[in-house]
Structure 1
């Protein structure tokens, strides 16, 4: 028994839907996998997985990096700071977004944030933003050095 054209289209649409759903289900936590506590340097829009495997890990994505620190070869009144916005996802697509700061500590902006996702406690730490600004170079490849710890 052959399928008529309408049945073929319906069958094809259902098949494509299930293939896309399966691809999306696996896609949230893919990429290199690091152990909790390992330091990593990421540029804007880069992601990394932390955990023991992709089924229980967390994906950390750097959304933006803004650097307003005083360049090395300039005398400034204020030291300035670098701001990094990150988002962390788990396999269930729960997420948390944070702003972390590096540099001028006089404004008490955090370089470390404690948080929980799916009733599990974690800590994210920003160690540095590189390269340090200079007036003689254009900074188009800023990297945030950070880690994720499970508590």
Structure 2
């Protein structure tokens, strides 16, 4: 039995749509995985995946970066600090949200937050926020250098 042209197109279209839906894996841990401990640079609204595989990994998203550090070539009364708000998700969409700070009281040492997701312990470490603010320039391209460590 042969199909006419219209039936062939309809059948082909349905087959292609079915294959597209079947190929799409719904989940938040799709993409390249970084090993725990590797440092990544993320701008606001960017994410990175960490872990051994998509089923046992974590996704870190930078929700917001507020940089109040003293700009280069400026005289300030206080040094200021950069605050980075992050959210971390596992494959089951459990999450943890917190702020990490760089500069100010931390004396430019990495800030660390310990947290648990799905009965496993992890650590988020903020190493830096770049570029450092400059007088007269907008800071819309700030990137947080951050990593996740499995404890």
Distance (Å, rounded) in 2 between the aligned partners of 1:84 and 1:71 = 18
SS of the residue corresponding to residue 26 of structure 2 reads helix
CA drift at 1:26? 2.6
> Which residue of 1 is the match for residue 100 of structure 2?
100
Moved more, 120-129 or 137-146: 137-146
* Structure 2: tracts of 5 or more residues without a match: 1-17
1:80 aligns with 2:75: no
Residue-by-residue CA offset, 1:76-115 (whole Å, 9 max, x unaligned): 01000000000000011100001000000169xx821001
CA drift at 1:139? 1.6
- Which runs of at least 4 in structure 1 moved beyond 2 Å after TM superposition? none
> Which residue of 2 is the match for residue 54 of structure 1?
54
> Which residue of 2 is the match for residue 4 of structure 1?
none
TM-score, length-normalised on structure 2? Answer: 0.80
Distance (Å, rounded) in 2 between the aligned partners of 1:111 and 1:138 = 25
Equivalent pairs counted in the alignment come to 131
TM-score, length-normalised on structure 1? Answer: 0.80
Residue-by-residue CA offset, 1:13-50 (whole Å, 9 max, x unaligned): xxx9xx59x95x63311122100000000000000100
> Which residue of 2 is the match for residue 124 of structure 1?
124
What RMSD over aligned residues (CA atoms) do the two structures have, in Å?
Answer: 2.3
Distance (Å, rounded) in 1 between the aligned partners of 2:106 and 2:37 = 27
> Which residue of 1 is the match for residue 41 of structure 2?
41
